[in-house]
Structure 1
């Protein structure tokens, strides 16, 4: 995933250079500032907030089902052919025949109001509770997005800090190596060393320059990745105010607590999902209950054979009543819907148990990796200091004529390798710290 983001950001930087120049702004951020900025500008969080509003509207929509429903209607009819019915001839003194008679008038019109009010529906009452739980679920989903954003921003921020530290070490090496190269070149002119001694140091210097260019490009890419995670435009200028030394790395072993489940947003989300499953079971049970509603309507009808006389006379109608609906036979659909809802609830119970085990495993793994990373960082830091001392002593011996340039070159190479190992251990340590905080539920939203 990280490589894909690198490729994406690199492609954007090539495809839209003018856009980046037009949107060039400058900002300085500490880690907490970067996290706060991301919480306001990251697209995923914005969408999560929109989902919250959708959930709120869904709750209001569900409430509206139980409120009075009022509708108005109007109609106009022009009978081009008035309906005709056949009546027995006995009514007209012609037994044994059927007489066609037209019933109705050419023009008809009507206006009316209709009111419906739900009095009792078990599925509505359960659905009302479920909609509120759905709102709770959306809020927790936003919290999960906030936590994921915090983790992503923190890791990206640490990547930039580590790249800066790596660049500082390379610059220090280049400064020292440049002085050694100049001194060796001067000694070559005076005939005290051979040309191969200068060549060895030149190779090291060229390798360091190449590595420095690579680190600078990687640093720019890490900064763009940080901007991306923060929701900042890639063309903006970003300056970090925190340093590696500002990062608080706890050197004491971390002991997991029994309360870690309740601190994990994933567990809380699954608990809310369990509530929804239980409400779903109640909803399907309520479908077996009757529903009751009240209704009322009033209307006015107008009839005439001539359009000009249509609205001269009004024929009003008003009715009120109750409507009871009792489910009898549904082909077993409701029964199997209820059974499936119960099975879904059982699946959620199993997922909760599995998540508990997964959290325990994640905490144990994160602690082990974190503690191992502490030891590795301490060892690599000691190795780096030893490599510096070895190089110092080797150079003194070389300057005094009792050592060889090959020993100096080897010591320089060992120091560079030790520094690279230190940088890798430092990066792993910082990332492991974030992973452990996330596993313990210490990253809040």
Structure 2
């Protein structure tokens, strides 16, 4: 296993996992079951579902703008000092004078209903289209979260499998080395070998024990990383059903597919974003159109100089009408909004071209890397088998007195190195397989 990922794993677990508060569980999962569990419990997917629900509510909210709007109002006023105006004295037979007169009453109150109905507004119609496209965008974002979660869980699952395989190889090495060490100690007691021969094997044995302890700790971290990617409590117990031996390695490839970008959710998301930008342009253009709405208002006005008689009489008022708003001059604001919206569409178009080329390159790179990984794994497997055979022959020669202990320790070291190279190649191949499937758009949820 590559220890350079250890730091990344530790950083991931520095994030507080809210699910640690949940009841711990005991689980025994295959890879597919682990992915299905993550689809139900991973917080990123749950948040994406919430975003999708928010988008659905936003669509309904936008539709509501075009539905009748009814508002009620109640108003009460107490004029502590009734307003006074000056009127010509001729009205009261006192020409040439301005006489102060109070107009109004001390108490005034009114209550009524107001109805507004939007009849035509270009921005509203475009907003309806945009809200539905926004809902589509949130659904695709949920799909992307599901795919990313499946990829992360698969890689973490493979990391655990490879760590288990590495631990199995170390255990086999330790059993073999312990037997060699016991045999050498027996030969030393009988005077057939030197103490340095025992010391060399002891050093190898100590190194293997240390390496095994490190792998066990790394395995625990990999299991916890898998739990994290699945949305499972870190305190839960998790074991795996699958094994390295059960994995199928595909060695054949189809002809390079130049249309693989169409299967990628990232490309589909960007296409939807372009649709939103186009609707944005349409919305800015619609601001040059007039808007028309209908309204109605009915109210009852209550007037009196004493509060007790305020409700004795009422004066009704009812109004209906239309309101036409025609934009005339906006200082160029709307014009530049249209220009910027056109530029945003052009940017998105350029991004689509770049993403298309990038995906094609990613597919080519992923397939090439996977092919190389296959060859590397085959080669490292042969090297490991050769190293095992070299060690077997070297031990026979040593036991028969025609070989040296240095040759044995060298063979042991070579075998351990070959096994590490095999483990690294196996891990790289599994991860590259996931990357190739993702690049080709074959991971679909």
Measured in 2, the distance between the counterparts of 1:268 and 1:376 equals 35
Are the counterparts in 1 of residues 370 and 433 from structure 2 also a CA contact under 8 Å? yes
Are the counterparts in 1 of residues 133 and 272 from structure 2 also a CA contact under 8 Å? yes
**Is 1:322 aligned with 2:342?**
no
Residue in 1 that maps onto 2:421: 421
- After TM superposition, give the deviation of residue 264 of structure 1 in Å: 0.2
Q: Secondary structure at the match of 2:100?
A: strand
Measured in 2, the distance between the counterparts of 1:428 and 1:358 equals 22
Which residues of structure 2 form unaligned runs of 5+?
Answer: none
Residue in 1 that maps onto 2:442: 442
Residue in 2 that maps onto 1:188: 188
Higher alpha-carbon deviation: 202-211 or 189-198? 189-198
Match runs of 1:256-275 below 5 Å: 256-275=256-275
Residue in 2 that maps onto 1:202: 202
Go from structure 1 to structure 2 and tell me whether the alpha carbon gap of 1:258 and 1:421 turns closer, same or farther (over 3 Å shift).
same
Residue in 2 that maps onto 1:103: 103
Measured in 1, the distance between the counterparts of 2:153 and 2:22 equals 25
Residue in 1 that maps onto 2:391: 391
Match runs of 1:202-241 below 5 Å: 202-241=202-241
Are the counterparts in 1 of residues 116 and 296 from structure 2 also a CA contact under 8 Å? yes
Go from structure 1 to structure 2 and tell me whether the alpha carbon gap of 1:21 and 1:351 turns closer, same or farther (over 3 Å shift).
closer
Measured in 2, the distance between the counterparts of 1:136 and 1:22 equals 33
Are the counterparts in 1 of residues 6 and 218 from structure 2 also a CA contact under 8 Å? no
Go from structure 1 to structure 2 and tell me whether the alpha carbon gap of 1:24 and 1:54 turns closer, same or farther (over 3 Å shift).
closer
Measured in 1, the distance between the counterparts of 2:127 and 2:248 equals 48
Residue in 2 that maps onto 1:68: 68
- After TM superposition, give the deviation of residue 402 of structure 1 in Å: 1.4
Residue in 1 that maps onto 2:334: 334
Go from structure 1 to structure 2 and tell me whether the alpha carbon gap of 1:311 and 1:351 turns closer, same or farther (over 3 Å shift).
same
- After TM superposition, give the deviation of residue 261 of structure 1 in Å: 1.5
Residue in 1 that maps onto 2:124: 124
Are the counterparts in 2 of residues 5 and 225 from structure 1 also a CA contact under 8 Å? no
Measured in 1, the distance between the counterparts of 2:332 and 2:24 equals 65
Q: Secondary structure at the match of 1:111?
A: strand
Q: Secondary structure at the match of 1:250?
A: coil
Measured in 2, the distance between the counterparts of 1:21 and 1:64 equals 40
Residue in 1 that maps onto 2:170: 170
- After TM superposition, give the deviation of residue 23 of structure 1 in Å: 4.9
Are the counterparts in 2 of residues 153 and 226 from structure 1 also a CA contact under 8 Å? yes
Measured in 1, the distance between the counterparts of 2:35 and 2:186 equals 52
Measured in 2, the distance between the counterparts of 1:181 and 1:387 equals 19
Counterpart of 1:6 (choices 2, 6, 9) is 9
**Superposed CA RMSD:** 1.8
Q: Secondary structure at the match of 1:87?
A: strand
Are the counterparts in 2 of residues 9 and 221 from structure 1 also a CA contact under 8 Å? no
Measured in 1, the distance between the counterparts of 2:422 and 2:36 equals 30
Q: Deviations over 1:339-379 (max 9, x none)?
A: 00000000000000000110011011111111000000000
**Is 1:89 aligned with 2:89?**
yes
Are the counterparts in 2 of residues 115 and 295 from structure 1 also a CA contact under 8 Å? yes
Measured in 1, the distance between the counterparts of 2:400 and 2:316 equals 121
- After TM superposition, give the deviation of residue 259 of structure 1 in Å: 3.0
Go from structure 1 to structure 2 and tell me whether the alpha carbon gap of 1:76 and 1:21 turns closer, same or farther (over 3 Å shift).
closer
Go from structure 1 to structure 2 and tell me whether the alpha carbon gap of 1:187 and 1:261 turns closer, same or farther (over 3 Å shift).
same
**Is 1:433 aligned with 2:433?**
yes
Measured in 1, the distance between the counterparts of 2:256 and 2:26 equals 42
TM-score by length of 1: 0.96
**Which consecutive aligned stretches of 4+ in structure 1 deviate over 6 angstroms post-superposition?**
19-22
- After TM superposition, give the deviation of residue 400 of structure 1 in Å: 1.5
**Is 1:140 aligned with 2:101?**
no
Q: Deviations over 1:47-94 (max 9, x none)?
A: 111111111111111000000000000010001011111111111111
Residue in 2 that maps onto 1:155: 155
- After TM superposition, give the deviation of residue 393 of structure 1 in Å: 1.0
Q: Secondary structure at the match of 1:225?
A: helix
Go from structure 1 to structure 2 and tell me whether the alpha carbon gap of 1:314 and 1:2 turns closer, same or farther (over 3 Å shift).
farther
Measured in 2, the distance between the counterparts of 1:21 and 1:96 equals 89
Match runs of 1:7-46 below 5 Å: 7-8=10-11, 23-46=23-46
- After TM superposition, give the deviation of residue 4 of structure 1 in Å: 5.3
Are the counterparts in 1 of residues 112 and 299 from structure 2 also a CA contact under 8 Å? yes
Go from structure 1 to structure 2 and tell me whether the alpha carbon gap of 1:65 and 1:378 turns closer, same or farther (over 3 Å shift).
same
Are the counterparts in 1 of residues 258 and 360 from structure 2 also a CA contact under 8 Å? no
Measured in 1, the distance between the counterparts of 2:25 and 2:154 equals 22
Are the counterparts in 2 of residues 254 and 367 from structure 1 also a CA contact under 8 Å? no
Go from structure 1 to structure 2 and tell me whether the alpha carbon gap of 1:231 and 1:10 turns closer, same or farther (over 3 Å shift).
closer
